[in-house]
Structure 1
Amino acid sequence: MGDAPNNGKIDFEGCYQLLAGAVVGRLALIVDGHPEIFPVNFVLERRSIAFRTAFGTKLWESMKEVPAAFEIDGYDPATEEAWSVTARGGTSLIEDPDERSAVDALGLEPWQPGEKSHYVRLSPRVLTGRRFKVKAPDVWTTRLNDERRKSFE
């Protein structure tokens, strides 16, 4: 699925496939000169990452013309592989009603209660991914909540 052979890199299309299959990611923004990370639920619309937010830090920082980053990751117990996808690019408000409707039609519904009336788009300029085989867990010392334990079951 979208991998270059043997080097662990996930190609462009593979990254988009993983993004399209995910629901929650982490948005990284610079706030007061320091990196901040915000979990957001999102949809992939027109090859960009779209999410909704209330008025506040995420909205304010997303309106600035500074780069942002977005990351998702996962683990597949069947293949014992972990993966990660990172997008870097600019953010912009989605103000056009037709564009908002297109995002809503994809099922973007914020998980957190409260009004999330502002729509934001992160347009990736750089999209990278990596997949790797995880180290086999030790049945006696691996924490019970470690996803790798599923390979024992």
Structure 2
Amino acid sequence: MADESVPVIEELTVEQCWKLLEKDGVGRLATATLDPATGEVLPDIFPINFHVFEERILFRTAPGTKLIDLTAQPTVAFQTDGHRGHRHWSVVARGTARRMMFDSDIQESGILDLQSTLPTEKWNYVRIEVDTITGIRFRGA
């Protein structure tokens, strides 16, 4: 009999990871930013509302630090998590962020329907071309 006090971590398949991301949600975008004062490359993290289309993670953003970071260094990581009862999960995707430039791509993707938690105008559409996606599921307390 398994000891339920010991958390069992289950690695998720690529398909399971994408399935968990099917519903629009909130995640965290990790970028690299150049500190103008020191010249150091520093990590930064932004909460984003996201939408998935054709195994790409899409989000909207206003002009600012996030968009500047993505333009200078498009390699990013994305993380989101959730739970159902006592079963928790976390998914991490790594890839390249690119602005969506064509109206047809923007309209077809469904990103125009994405509701933002922060009610500001966000007319920059970005997609993460995912290179790797991994996830875990575990039983919480």
TM-score normalized with structure 1 length: 0.77
Relative to structure 1, the CA distance from residue 90 to residue 17 in structure 2 (aligned partners, 3 Å threshold; closer, same or farther) is same
Aligned pairs for 1:73-112 within 5 A: 73-77=81-85, 80-104=86-110, 107-112=113-118
* Contact preservation (8 Å) 2:49, 2:59: yes
Determine the structure 2 residue equivalent to 1:139.
Answer: none
* Contact preservation (8 Å) 2:31, 2:73: no
Unaligned runs of 5+ in 1: 1-5, 137-153
Aligned length: 128
Instruction: Tell me which protein shows more strand as a share of its residues.
Output: 2
Q: Deviations over 1:80-106 (max 9, x none)?
A: 211100000001000110111123467
Unaligned runs of 5+ in 2: 1-7, 35-40
* Contact preservation (8 Å) 2:58, 2:111: no
Relative to structure 1, the CA distance from residue 102 to residue 19 in structure 2 (aligned partners, 3 Å threshold; closer, same or farther) is same
* Contact preservation (8 Å) 2:79, 2:91: yes
Pair 1:72 & 2:73 matched: no
Q: Deviations over 1:14-42 (max 9, x none)?
A: 00011112411100001121111100001
TM-score normalized with structure 2 length: 0.83
Determine the structure 1 residue equivalent to 2:29.
Answer: 27
Give identity over the alignment, percent: 37
* Contact preservation (8 Å) 1:43, 1:107: no
Of the candidates 53, 58, 62, which is equivalent to residue 66 of structure 2? 58
Letter in 1 for 2:62: A
